[in-house]
Chain A
Amino acid sequence: MEALINGLVLVLETLVYPGLLFLLALGLFGNWFVRKIVARMQNRVGPYYVGFHGLLQPLYDILKLLRKETIRVERVYITLAVITTAFVISGLAVSMLLTPLSPRPLYAPGDFIIYIYLLLLPPIAVAVAGFAAANPYSIKGAARFLSMIVVIEPLFFLGILVPVAAASLYDASVGYSIYRAMTVIPEMWRDLAKPYWIALLLGLAGLFMVNHAKLLFRPFDIPEAETEIVEGPLVEYSGAAYAYLKLLHMIEESVLVLLIVMLYLGGPYPFPATSILGVIVVLVKYAVVLFIHSWIHASTARMRIEQAVDWLISYPGFLLLLSLSVVLLTYILNIHF
């Protein structure tokens, strides 16, 4: 009986909070927030008519797309793209169960590998969507996306490894678990005697830049470049399939911004993650991080692919390797002196 209840709770968590429905709501809010901020910075009004100050505009857009007919295009494997997208969205929904936002979290020693695996899935869906269409723009966009991903993914891995390794070396009970690491990190920020906080600071800057590129905010919107290759991988999709690909992007955005908030910015600290105040603190930090993304997005111009790759290796790559070195040095010095 108890096992059945536990199973039902896990299913509810996956589908409602902090899983699919929560991510969906957060993603739609994030989309509205970015559009509104960017519009204000460009002296426009932005979404305005649907809901309070256009708050429901992204939801309306998605519902409208779901009700539109999906145009069948020659040599475009729409179902393949939709299956992959649904798979990836499911992975992102389940990844939230590994964080302290979940009332009954799943955790095990070394589980950060599972978490990273789930968060590395979204580019696969975009690449599959791009290569599943015979349109040259689509394939060009997917090829550009993969070129960027070759650089971005190792850095993203490093951005998660640094705080998890630091937390595991700081407190041996963490044991490379993402949930335990997220609960220990606020303590590490306050412990100024040990320089793990320097590693966290460098890692925060590095992962923020990597996330900015991963989410294709300007200046890294090279794969979709509307004025050049008309949204790249998504060009041949319409109706429900396009709605799913848009939803994937919104959900990925909310998961990656939450990752920064929970892993580096202390999450709900000083409140428990499952309390109302804790969730409010998380949402405020979420909005602040998204505001900085929007600011950069609104005030920069698109780079060329080789510039973006060079930049990513030079700056976030350097910062993240430096932060890993700080973690390591701190650990060695603590042992020997």
Chain B
Amino acid sequence: MNKYNDNFTDGFLPLEIIEREKERPLSVTEASRTVKRYVHDEIGTLSVLGEISSARPNSSGHVYFDLKDSNATIGAVVWRSYTSTLKHVRDGALVVATGTFDIYEKTGKLTFIVTSIKEAGEGGVKKKLEERKRYYESLGWFDPSIKKRLPDTISSIAIVTSATGAVIHDMLDVTGRRAPSIKITLYPSPVQGENAGEIIAARIRQANAQGGYDVIIVARGGGSQEDLMPYSTDPVVQAIHESQTPVISAVGHESDWSLSDYVADVRAGTPSIAAELVTATMLKRREAFRTIIESINSAMNYKTNIATMRLKSSGDIETLLRRKAENMYNSVAMAGQGLDSFMAIKRDAARGKLSTLKVEIKANAEAIFGNTKMKFSSVSKELEALSPYAVLSRGYSMVTDHNGKVVKNALDVKGGDHIRIKTGAGDFGAVVEI
């Protein structure tokens, strides 16, 4: 306890004293009461726009709740006597609350004591929608930072939409074409009308409770702003916001919008686009799979081609060898031919020589023969000259005895002998006379 407590019994210290006594630490009570006085007196009555959440009546009839926006929370209370204000306290309501701030000493908690509540947002559908949008935006429910990523692998999806009509038809068509392996569970719901929002929200919650889905698609075809209204209702927005499973909002056409588009983790322009989104990974996988298979096949082909080429090139060696062998054979043949022609030349030359020789021999022989002939004829002439018949022809006669013996001496004959006288031309007999 300090001396000032005696002077200022309620514990509140005017700022001048705090300023003057800077060095002195305040007691907790002093600090609390000083702040309390300033909060209450200086700030006074305020109006705050926010969303009511965590409303909790206590046993004494007062209702405690939180006022929130995207960044801050204020604890608030409506005393039980403010009955007309109390009825506005419901979770999720966007309100303008008017009151004063106070600090509860025991806990140090700042509380907004609300004396009147006005529902925020009035007017036409569009205005209401805009206001609701601003409200949820202020809660941070549209923040990109809180959006869940679609899982890489999507193998099971829940679709909340009508069981009849073009939407489910188109979606099944797209998913079937691109990724037939994805399991699809249809959560049927009305897509317009009074209770549609609540049923859609319940289906989203039901799918979450059921679990096992990689993504929930909330889908609807195009329609008027009023037709699309269920997708902008509080239950749907809240169900999507609270969904543990990522939600894709695929409501209406590309140009339409609903609050489900903003609060969902992903907005798809149309249900078919949503179907494309959830099948993208599977399609990519199929493509990756096909590409890798193609690549493996071509790599293997290349390998086997190389191997085959090696085999072929060993075949080439064979061919080469065969060719070499052929060349060698040809060379031998050519050599043979060369030899033949060489021999032919030699032979011809020999023949030539031979014929020359023959001619020479012939010539020589003829020469020899001719000389001989000539010699022979001169010898014959000599012989002829020596012949007795040649003498006879010159007028001489030859006498032979009866024995034919030439009579060379007259004494060799006696009278009466018959002799033969041979002249150059004929002969005749005669008788010797003595």
Is chain B a partner of chain A in the same complex? no
Binding site for A on B (CB under 8 A): none
